[in-house]
């Protein structure tokens, strides 16, 4: 047995003092009062975290852990100008002999001149195939050699592609790591590296969205006892018909790795100007794009029949409205979740609640782009204030939880975003933000009571934070301290 001590505990709903946590075989045995401690200390190994706070392990309800790991070597997010970005790319290409080069995470909204790069600018620095993907994942730009290489693999006429600028939207940037795959050995190293970062950030469970190949890789790591973080997996770009004869349903797996369902895209991103709104916006002065294919209602019905959960990406208010229209037609809204749900109209918040749809929201988007004079305001004008209306969602009774989209995978930054909404009336307290990064996360996968709380019978998954909720001190999964410092 193990006894964990700290100045306070956040049990999933509130802060409590005067208790320690007794763990037995990876499960919370009991909360032990100070009066009972002398008895328990005779049979338990004690770890004292002093003035820190023990909270349930952070549940990140929307991640791309493999892509995040791959991106670590080729991310350009830190650069503040296009010139710095191109200089890094040119140097990297000259020092690494690869068949192609994929760089990630450019964010022109934070550059001194907020203009995306073009094919011509990439052509100037190298004759090798180069692709540069925006941080949102919904937009990218290729140089001429990369476009030629890409044309040998897919029909460019079937993509959203501007031959003049070399800019691609949606399909190609979203699938770029599947179209141009690294070796399994490199992917494994990238996944393990990302896992370490996620755990150091206090995340104990992720709702991961990826490909069949990543699911196989996660199973391999699980067999080899290398998988440490809990994973709930959603397959993107698939179809429920692929599962019709397998017998695999939502929740198949074990407490460490479970399959949940399918992921679909209804629109794009605000940064890529492909999120679908009821009004034109941005440089393109267009409403964005609709990505769900014809006949998708039948696919959703089949998913319901097979016991699969369906997660749908929808950011713009028109995309959210159309997705809810489809869910109303299909019925059984409890088996649906909407990813992001950033700019819902008031009536659609009420509709989503009545349909009992689950929502995964990314408060770090508020921190990154949703502040005054931020990217959202530059694209949307005053409408940007409608982004992520946390308090309104709570008051309506909508069921939602927090995730990060791995931009970055840091609940601490997400909590800052939730407490710093540009509209004061939409801001959450740190205590409320913790609830939506812990207890509420378990509801999205029907695991309430097992995770996201500190109580008898719940998994011994904890994050230890400083009293100001600004730093992760330790991460504990299944009763084992996996990160400390």
State pLDDT tens for residues 176-223.
988 888 888 889 999 999 999 999 999 999 999 999 999 999 999 999
Overall size of the chain counted in residues:
485
Lowest model confidence (mean pLDDT) among 3-17, 234-248, 349-363 = 234-248
Q: What is the pLDDT of residue 190?
A: 92
C-alpha distances (whole Å) from 484 to each of 49, 199, 463, 465 are 10, 10, 10, 11
Q: What does residue 471 show for φ and ψ, rounded to 5 degrees?
A: -150, 135
The three-point CA angle 358-235-172 to 5° equals 110
| DSSP characters over 32-95 | EETTTHHHHTTTSEEEE-TT-EEEEPEEEEEE-HHHHHHHTTTB-TT-SSHHHHHHHHHHHHHH
Give the bridge partners for 462, in sequence order: 56, 476
**CA 155 remoteness from chain centre:** 30
Query: What is the rounded CA–CA span in Å between residue 83 and residue 283?
Result: 21
Q: What is the mean pLDDT of residues 33-52?
A: 90
Task: With a cut of 80, say whether residue 485 has pLDDT above it.
Answer: no
Q: What is the mean pLDDT of residues 235-257?
A: 92
CB distance 313 to 361 below 8 Å: no
Q: How many CA atoms lie within 13 A of 65 on its CB side?
A: 33
**Three-state secondary structure readout of 129-164:** CEEEEECCCCEEEECHHHHHHHHCCCCHHHCEEECC
| Domain assignments of the chain as residue spans, ordered by start | 1-56+452-485, 74-179
Task: With a cut of 70, say whether residue 377 has pLDDT above it.
Answer: yes
Evaluate if pTM is beyond 0.85: yes
C-alpha distances (whole Å) from 173 to each of 169, 238, 264, 366 are 7, 17, 15, 23
Q: What does residue 285 show for φ and ψ, rounded to 5 degrees?
A: 50, 45
Give the bridge partners for 231, in sequence order: 206, 257
Report the CATH number of the 74-179 domain: 3.10.310.70
Query: What is the rounded CA–CA span in Å between residue 117 and residue 140?
Result: 9
Q: What is the pLDDT of residue 332?
A: 82
What confidence category does residue 129 fall into, taking pLDDT thresholds of 50, 70 and 90? Answer: very high
What's the pLDDT tens digit per position in 388-432? 999 999 999 999 999 999 999 999 999 999 999 999 999 999 999
Query: What is the rounded CA–CA span in Å between residue 17 and residue 5?
Result: 10
What's the pLDDT tens digit per position in 53-66? 999 999 999 999 99
Reported CATH class of domain 1-56+452-485: mainly beta
| Percent of all residues in the chain with a pLDDT value above 90, rounded to a whole number | 85
Mean pLDDT, rounded, of the chain:
95
Query: What is the rounded CA–CA span in Å between residue 196 and residue 190?
Result: 10
Residues 6 or more apart in contact with residue 55 via CB below 8 angstroms: 9, 10, 434, 438, 454, 462, 463, 464, 465
What confidence category does residue 237 fall into, taking pLDDT thresholds of 50, 70 and 90? Answer: confident
C-alpha distances (whole Å) from 422 to each of 246, 247, 300, 339 are 47, 47, 36, 21
What confidence category does residue 127 fall into, taking pLDDT thresholds of 50, 70 and 90? Answer: very high
What's the pLDDT tens digit per position in 331-340? 889 999 999 9
Query: What is the rounded CA–CA span in Å between residue 448 and residue 158?
Result: 43
């Amino acid at each position: 047995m193990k006894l964990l001590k700290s100045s306070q505990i956040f049990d999933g709903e509130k802060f409590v003092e005067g208790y320690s946590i007794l763990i037995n075989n990876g499960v919370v045995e009991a909360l032990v009062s100070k009066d009972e401690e002398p008895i328990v200390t005779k049979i338990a190994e004690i770890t004292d975290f002093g003035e820190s706070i023990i909270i349930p392990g952070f549940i990140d309800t929307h991640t791309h852990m493999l892509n995040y790991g791959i991106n670590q070597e080729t991310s350009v997010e830190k650069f503040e100008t296009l010139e710095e970005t191109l200089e890094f790319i040119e140097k990297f290409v000259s020092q690494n002999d690869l068949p192609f080069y994929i760089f990630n995470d450019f964010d022109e909204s934070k550059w001194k001149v907020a203009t995306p790069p073009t094919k011509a600018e990439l052509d100037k620095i190298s004759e090798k195939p180069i692709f540069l993907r925006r941080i949102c994942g919904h937009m990218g730009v290729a140089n001429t050699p990369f476009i030629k290489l890409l044309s040998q693999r897919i029909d460019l006429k079937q993509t959203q592609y501007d031959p003049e600028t070399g800019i691609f939207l949606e399909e190609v940037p979203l699938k770029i790591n599947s179209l141009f795959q690294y070796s399994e050995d490199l992917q494994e190293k990238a996944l393990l590296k990302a896992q370490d970062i996620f755990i150091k950030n206090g995340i104990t469970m992720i709702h991961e969205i990826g490909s069949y190949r990543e699911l196989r890789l996660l199973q391999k790591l699980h067999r080899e006892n290398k998988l440490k973080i809990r994973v709930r997996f959603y397959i993107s770009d698939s179809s429920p018909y692929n599962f019709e004869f397998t017998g695999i349903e939502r929740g198949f797996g074990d407490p460490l790795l479970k399959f949940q369902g399918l992921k679909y895209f209804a629109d794009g991103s605000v940064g890529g100007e492909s999120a679908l709104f009821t009004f034109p916006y941005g440089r393109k002065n267009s409403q964005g794009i609709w990505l769900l294919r014809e006949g998708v209602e039948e696919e959703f019905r089949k998913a319901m029949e097979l016991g699969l959960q369906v997660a749908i990406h929808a950011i713009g208010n028109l995309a959210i409205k159309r997705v809810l229209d489809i869910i109303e037609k299909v019925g059984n809204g409890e088996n649906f979740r909407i990813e992001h749900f950033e700019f819902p109209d008031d009536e659609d918040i009420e509709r989503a609640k009545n349909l009992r749809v689950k929502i995964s929201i990314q408060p770090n988007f508020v921190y990154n782009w949703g502040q005054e004079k931020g990217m959202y305001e530059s694209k949307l004008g005053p409408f940007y204030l409608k982004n992520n209306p946390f308090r309104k969602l709570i008051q309506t009774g909508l069921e939602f939880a927090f995730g990060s989209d791995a931009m970055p995978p840091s609940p601490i930054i997400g909590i800052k975003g939730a407490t710093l909404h540009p509209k004061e009336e939409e801001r959450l307290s740190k205590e409320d933000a913790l609830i939506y990064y812990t207890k509420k996360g378990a509801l999205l996968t029907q695991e309430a009571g097992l995770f996201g709380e500190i109580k008898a019978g719940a998994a011994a998954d904890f994050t230890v934070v400083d009293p100001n909720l600004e730093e992760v001190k330790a991460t504990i999964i299944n009763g084992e301290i996996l990160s400390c410092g």
